[in-house]
Amino acid sequence: MARVIKIGAAQSGPVQKAEDRDSVVGRLLELMKQARSDGCDMVVFTELALTTFFPRYYAEDRALMDIWFETAMPNPATQPLFDYARDNAIGFSLGYAELTPGGDHFNTQVLVDKKGAIVGTYRKVHLPGHHDHQPWREFQHLERYYFDPGDGFGVFAGFGGVLGMAICNDRRWSETYRVLGLQGCELALTGYNTPVHYAPDPTQDRLQGFRNHLVLQSGAYQNGMWVVGVAKAGEEEGCTLLGESAIVAPSGEIAALCTTDGDELAVAEVDLDMCANYKETLFDFDRYRRPE
């Protein structure tokens, strides 16, 4: 029996500082409803989906930034997403800022099944940006200041296959896909908030869209897996964020693509059995890879 799941890549338009959690969750819920009407089994939301991209701001007292973090998941603001998933048999993946009871701060993503239960949690490994305030920048990129690094990549059984997660900068690194691939990953879910302007070298700005698809497509092809990349896009607090959310097949081909910078759903039928065409031939890890 074919293992085909229908996925909605739920791109978010900008989230401004003044927009509260309830408003953002309402927008995400509308995308879930659209996905359900399109027959989707799963919706993939972006990185830090519930808030503006707050690492662009500096606070000398880091504790002042804890307002952007979730201390529980689900919580009263996000419970409607979990309720809708349970009541309508549709799963989702959600990125958010996590503050643990022990005081650790993570850039986190969860995988939620069709019963509304969390079946996987991932914390971002490859933290980009800088640790210190750099006033020369038009905006900061202080992920290394506000977040602790996660401890690695794992896979989770669900939706008839083997799933993994990654977040934003993770998608640029070959290790991400290789480590997931060595664990049999068939579907990798990743959200991103990518500024079009790269302050350390603005000559790279024009290549942001090309490179985004380059890494998603090469990661999918070289590891025989589907890859879903979902953006927060558009003009957010004066910072232009890249869109171009995509669902990529193990062949490296783009199966679905967002074309706006706003809230948008791109939908594709994902045949997990297609992974074997690559995992058991050209990219047969057991036969050809030398991880040692």
Any idea which residues carry the catalytic annotation? 47, 124, 168
Task: Name the DSSP class of 242.
Answer: P
CA atoms within 13 A on the CB side of 100: 12
Decide: 267 and 35 in contact? Cβ < 8 Å.
yes
> What are the angstrom distances between the C-alpha of 26 and each of 19, 45, 49, 75, 125?
11, 13, 12, 14, 29
Beta bridge partners of residue 10, listed in sequence order: 265
Decide: 110 and 43 in contact? Cβ < 8 Å.
no
Decide: 233 and 11 in contact? Cβ < 8 Å.
yes
Distance from C-alpha of 192 to C-alpha of 44, rounded to nearest angstrom: 11
